[in-house]
Chain A
Protein backbone atom coordinates (compact mmCIF):
# COMPACT_ATOMS: atom_id res chain seq x y z
CA UNK A 1 0.00 0.00 0.00
CA UNK A 2 0.88 3.63 -0.04
CA UNK A 3 3.41 5.03 2.36
CA UNK A 4 3.07 8.02 4.63
CA UNK A 5 2.17 11.14 2.71
CA UNK A 6 2.46 14.75 3.75
CA UNK A 7 1.19 17.98 2.30
CA UNK A 8 2.16 20.49 1.26
CA UNK A 9 5.69 19.50 0.35
CA UNK A 10 6.81 23.11 0.61
CA UNK A 11 5.25 26.04 2.40
CA UNK A 12 6.49 29.61 2.41
CA UNK A 13 4.70 31.95 4.74
CA UNK A 14 5.10 35.36 6.30
CA UNK A 15 5.92 35.85 9.93
CA UNK A 16 2.78 36.00 12.03
CA UNK A 17 0.63 33.86 9.74
CA UNK A 18 -0.87 30.53 10.75
CA UNK A 19 0.03 27.34 8.86
CA UNK A 20 -1.48 23.88 8.81
CA UNK A 21 0.51 20.80 7.85
CA UNK A 22 -1.13 17.52 6.99
CA UNK A 23 -0.06 13.90 7.41
CA UNK A 24 -1.73 10.78 6.04
CA UNK A 25 -0.29 7.71 7.78
CA UNK A 26 -0.13 4.20 6.46
CA UNK A 27 -3.54 2.59 6.69
CA UNK A 28 -3.88 0.54 9.86
CA UNK A 29 -1.06 2.24 11.70
CA UNK A 30 -2.35 3.30 15.09
CA UNK A 31 0.66 5.36 16.15
CA UNK A 32 1.60 8.66 14.53
CA UNK A 33 4.52 10.95 15.29
CA UNK A 34 5.51 14.48 14.36
CA UNK A 35 9.15 15.58 14.28
CA UNK A 36 10.96 18.76 13.36
CA UNK A 37 14.28 18.74 11.57
CA UNK A 38 16.23 21.95 11.49
CA UNK A 39 18.95 22.37 8.88
CA UNK A 40 21.96 20.21 9.70
CA UNK A 41 20.42 18.81 12.85
CA UNK A 42 18.82 15.59 13.96
CA UNK A 43 15.13 15.02 14.43
CA UNK A 44 13.36 16.75 17.30
CA UNK A 45 10.32 14.93 18.64
CA UNK A 46 7.17 17.06 18.80
CA UNK A 47 4.15 14.89 19.59
CA UNK A 48 2.93 11.32 19.50
CA UNK A 49 -0.60 10.00 18.85
CA UNK A 50 -1.89 6.61 19.85
CA UNK A 51 -5.15 6.40 17.98
CA UNK A 52 -6.80 9.77 18.32
CA UNK A 53 -5.29 10.69 21.66
CA UNK A 54 -1.94 12.33 22.29
CA UNK A 55 -0.44 10.89 25.47
CA UNK A 56 2.66 13.02 25.16
CA UNK A 57 2.69 16.60 23.93
CA UNK A 58 5.83 17.53 25.80
CA UNK A 59 7.88 18.01 22.64
CA UNK A 60 5.75 20.85 21.33
CA UNK A 61 8.03 23.90 21.55
CA UNK A 62 5.37 26.44 22.50
CA UNK A 63 1.62 26.96 22.82
CA UNK A 64 1.63 28.22 19.23
CA UNK A 65 1.96 24.57 18.18
CA UNK A 66 -0.97 22.19 18.27
CA UNK A 67 -1.89 18.94 16.59
CA UNK A 68 -4.92 16.77 16.20
CA UNK A 69 -5.78 13.43 14.69
CA UNK A 70 -9.15 12.17 13.62
CA UNK A 71 -10.36 8.65 13.02
CA UNK A 72 -6.94 7.05 13.57
CA UNK A 73 -6.04 8.52 10.23
CA UNK A 74 -5.14 12.01 9.12
CA UNK A 75 -3.27 14.32 11.45
CA UNK A 76 -2.76 18.06 11.19
CA UNK A 77 -0.04 20.08 12.84
CA UNK A 78 -0.95 23.74 13.24
CA UNK A 79 1.51 26.51 13.94
CA UNK A 80 -0.05 29.83 14.89
CA UNK A 81 1.63 33.20 14.53
CA UNK A 82 4.65 31.66 12.83
CA UNK A 83 8.13 32.90 13.69
CA UNK A 84 11.32 32.65 11.68
CA UNK A 85 12.71 30.06 14.07
CA UNK A 86 9.83 27.78 13.05
CA UNK A 87 11.50 27.31 9.66
CA UNK A 88 12.38 23.63 9.35
CA UNK A 89 11.31 20.39 7.74
CA UNK A 90 8.37 18.86 9.58
CA UNK A 91 8.33 15.09 9.36
CA UNK A 92 5.50 12.72 10.09
CA UNK A 93 5.90 9.02 10.80
CA UNK A 94 3.54 6.20 11.59
CA UNK A 95 3.92 2.75 13.07
CA UNK A 96 1.70 -0.25 13.64
CA UNK A 97 1.64 0.44 17.33
CA UNK A 98 3.35 2.62 19.83
CA UNK A 99 4.63 1.79 23.30
CA UNK A 100 7.07 -0.75 21.97
CA UNK A 101 10.81 -0.70 21.85
CA UNK A 102 10.76 -2.66 18.58
CA UNK A 103 9.01 0.14 16.92
CA UNK A 104 9.73 0.68 13.23
CA UNK A 105 8.52 4.05 12.17
CA UNK A 106 7.75 4.79 8.53
CA UNK A 107 8.38 8.37 7.49
CA UNK A 108 6.73 10.71 5.08
CA UNK A 109 8.75 12.97 2.76
CA UNK A 110 8.27 15.98 5.03
CA UNK A 111 6.98 19.51 4.65
CA UNK A 112 9.62 22.19 4.27
CA UNK A 113 8.37 25.30 6.05
CA UNK A 114 10.01 28.65 5.40
CA UNK A 115 8.93 31.64 7.45
CA UNK A 116 10.00 34.95 5.94
Chain B
Protein backbone atom coordinates (compact mmCIF):
# COMPACT_ATOMS: atom_id res chain seq x y z
CA UNK B 1 0.00 0.00 0.00
CA UNK B 2 0.88 3.67 -0.10
CA UNK B 3 3.42 4.87 2.45
CA UNK B 4 5.56 7.86 3.41
CA UNK B 5 8.97 7.73 5.05
CA UNK B 6 10.55 10.74 6.73
CA UNK B 7 13.94 11.22 8.31
CA UNK B 8 13.87 10.64 12.02
CA UNK B 9 14.25 13.53 14.38
CA UNK B 10 14.88 15.50 16.25
CA UNK B 11 16.83 17.68 13.89
CA UNK B 12 18.73 20.39 15.76
CA UNK B 13 20.17 23.37 13.90
CA UNK B 14 21.49 26.81 14.68
CA UNK B 15 19.64 29.88 13.51
CA UNK B 16 20.36 30.79 9.84
CA UNK B 17 21.46 27.25 9.01
CA UNK B 18 20.25 25.43 5.88
CA UNK B 19 17.50 22.90 6.45
CA UNK B 20 16.68 19.68 4.64
CA UNK B 21 14.09 17.20 5.90
CA UNK B 22 13.96 14.14 3.69
CA UNK B 23 10.70 12.55 2.60
CA UNK B 24 10.24 9.62 0.25
CA UNK B 25 7.05 7.88 -0.71
CA UNK B 26 5.60 4.74 -2.22
CA UNK B 27 2.33 5.08 -4.09
CA UNK B 28 0.40 3.80 -7.05
CA UNK B 29 -0.68 6.37 -9.56
CA UNK B 30 0.12 10.03 -9.20
CA UNK B 31 -0.39 11.26 -5.66
CA UNK B 32 -0.44 14.83 -4.47
CA UNK B 33 2.23 15.57 -1.87
CA UNK B 34 2.03 17.78 1.17
CA UNK B 35 4.07 19.14 4.04
CA UNK B 36 2.14 19.96 7.19
CA UNK B 37 3.59 21.73 10.22
CA UNK B 38 2.57 21.53 13.87
CA UNK B 39 3.87 24.40 15.98
CA UNK B 40 4.03 23.88 19.75
CA UNK B 41 0.54 23.97 21.25
CA UNK B 42 -1.16 24.43 17.89
CA UNK B 43 -3.00 22.26 15.40
CA UNK B 44 -1.61 20.86 12.18
CA UNK B 45 -1.57 23.29 9.30
CA UNK B 46 -0.72 22.93 5.65
CA UNK B 47 2.71 24.36 4.85
CA UNK B 48 2.94 23.62 1.13
CA UNK B 49 1.83 21.16 -1.49
CA UNK B 50 2.59 19.90 -4.99
CA UNK B 51 0.09 18.10 -7.18
CA UNK B 52 2.19 16.77 -10.07
CA UNK B 53 5.71 15.78 -10.95
CA UNK B 54 8.28 18.60 -11.04
CA UNK B 55 5.92 21.00 -9.25
CA UNK B 56 7.55 23.06 -6.53
CA UNK B 57 5.53 24.00 -3.49
CA UNK B 58 6.68 26.99 -1.47
CA UNK B 59 5.57 28.98 1.56
CA UNK B 60 7.23 30.99 4.34
CA UNK B 61 10.65 30.43 2.77
CA UNK B 62 10.20 26.66 2.67
CA UNK B 63 10.31 24.75 -0.61
CA UNK B 64 9.79 21.18 -1.75
CA UNK B 65 9.94 19.75 -5.27
CA UNK B 66 7.89 16.74 -6.36
CA UNK B 67 10.49 14.33 -7.80
CA UNK B 68 8.78 11.37 -9.40
CA UNK B 69 12.02 9.76 -10.55
CA UNK B 70 13.30 9.52 -6.98
CA UNK B 71 9.82 9.39 -5.34
CA UNK B 72 10.88 12.21 -3.05
CA UNK B 73 9.51 15.47 -1.69
CA UNK B 74 12.30 16.86 0.49
CA UNK B 75 11.60 20.01 2.49
CA UNK B 76 14.23 22.77 2.36
CA UNK B 77 14.78 26.22 3.75
CA UNK B 78 17.82 28.36 3.17
CA UNK B 79 18.00 30.09 6.56
CA UNK B 80 15.97 28.80 9.49
CA UNK B 81 14.72 30.86 12.41
CA UNK B 82 13.91 29.95 15.99
CA UNK B 83 10.23 30.39 15.10
CA UNK B 84 10.52 27.47 12.64
CA UNK B 85 10.85 25.07 15.55
CA UNK B 86 7.97 22.63 15.12
CA UNK B 87 7.11 19.12 14.00
CA UNK B 88 6.95 18.67 10.23
CA UNK B 89 4.86 15.96 8.56
CA UNK B 90 5.10 14.76 4.99
CA UNK B 91 1.90 13.29 3.53
CA UNK B 92 0.45 12.07 0.28
CA UNK B 93 -3.07 11.99 -1.06
CA UNK B 94 -3.68 9.28 -3.55
CA UNK B 95 -6.64 8.25 -5.63
CA UNK B 96 -9.01 8.36 -2.67
CA UNK B 97 -9.63 10.89 0.07
CA UNK B 98 -7.14 9.58 2.59
CA UNK B 99 -3.95 11.32 3.51
CA UNK B 100 -1.09 8.92 4.20
CA UNK B 101 1.31 10.38 6.75
CA UNK B 102 4.94 10.13 7.65
CA UNK B 103 5.87 9.82 11.32
CA UNK B 104 6.87 13.47 11.62
CA UNK B 105 10.24 15.15 12.16
CA UNK B 106 10.80 17.42 15.12
CA UNK B 107 12.88 20.47 14.24
CA UNK B 108 14.68 22.41 16.98
CA UNK B 109 16.34 25.71 16.10
CA UNK B 110 18.77 27.16 18.62
CA UNK B 111 19.52 30.88 18.71
Interface, chain A (partner B; CB < 8 A)? 3-4, 31, 33, 40-43, 45, 48, 56, 91, 93, 98-110
Contacts and interface: CB of A to CB of B under 8 A. Distances in A.
B93 interface: yes
Nearest to B34: A104
Given A4-B43, A42-B89, A105 B103 contact: no
Contacts of B44: 91, 93, 107
B96 interface: yes
Interface in B37-62: 42-46, 49, 51
Contact of A42 (B93, B95, B97, B101): B101
Contacts of A31: 97
Interface of B: 4, 31-32, 36, 42-46, 49, 51, 89, 91, 93-99, 101-104
A45 B101 CA distance: 9
A98 B43 contact: no
Contacts of B101: 42-43
Contact of A101 (B43, B46, B51, B102): B51
Given A40-B103, A107-B36, 9 more contacts: A40-B104, A42-B101, A43-B91, A48-B98, A91-B44, A99-B97, A101-B51, A101-B94, A107-B44
Central interface residue in A105, A106, A109, by most chain B CB within 10 Å: A105
